[in-house]
Amino acid sequence: MGHMQKSRLSKYKQDRLTEHFVSGSTARTAASLCGVNRKTAAFFFLRLREIIAYELEGESEAMFDGEVEVDESYFGGRRKGKRGRGAAGKIPVFGLFAA
């Protein structure tokens, strides 16, 4: 990922924060591990989410140009009682394939 504009964070700290973001750390945890202010980390994480959302929006517009095939299945143990959609103990599995 390129260097974020208008950031006073060093490239090193941006890279470390990005690693924590990717690994699922909270902004608060990332801030203390990287030695930056909590608000700084929270803002950095927000900017990353905005960039990702922007990129995904562009990709989805391109991806859903053609036909879309959707397949939905439920997997899980055999059990008494309610069957089908929303049955207890079933794991919903959703597959999306763009042709």
Over the stretch 35-72, which tens digit does the pLDDT of each residue have?
A: 999 999 999 999 999 988 888 887 777 766 666 565 65
Q: Are residues 56 and 15 in the same domain?
A: yes
Q: What does pTM read for this prediction? A: 0.55
Tell me, yes or no, whether 5 lies in a domain: no
| Mean pLDDT in residue range 9-30 | 94
Does one domain contain both 58 and 36?
A: yes
Task: Name the domain count of the chain.
Answer: 2
Give the mean model confidence (pLDDT) for residues 21-34.
94
Among 27, 26, 98, smallest CA distance to 67 is for 98
Q: How large a percentage of the chain has pLDDT more than 70?
A: 55
Backbone phi and psi for residue 98, each to the nearest 5 degrees, phi listed first: -100, 120
Q: Tell me: do 58 and 79 sit in the same domain.
A: no
Domain range for 88 is 68-98
Considering the domain architecture, whether residues 86 and 44 belong to the same structural domain is answered as no
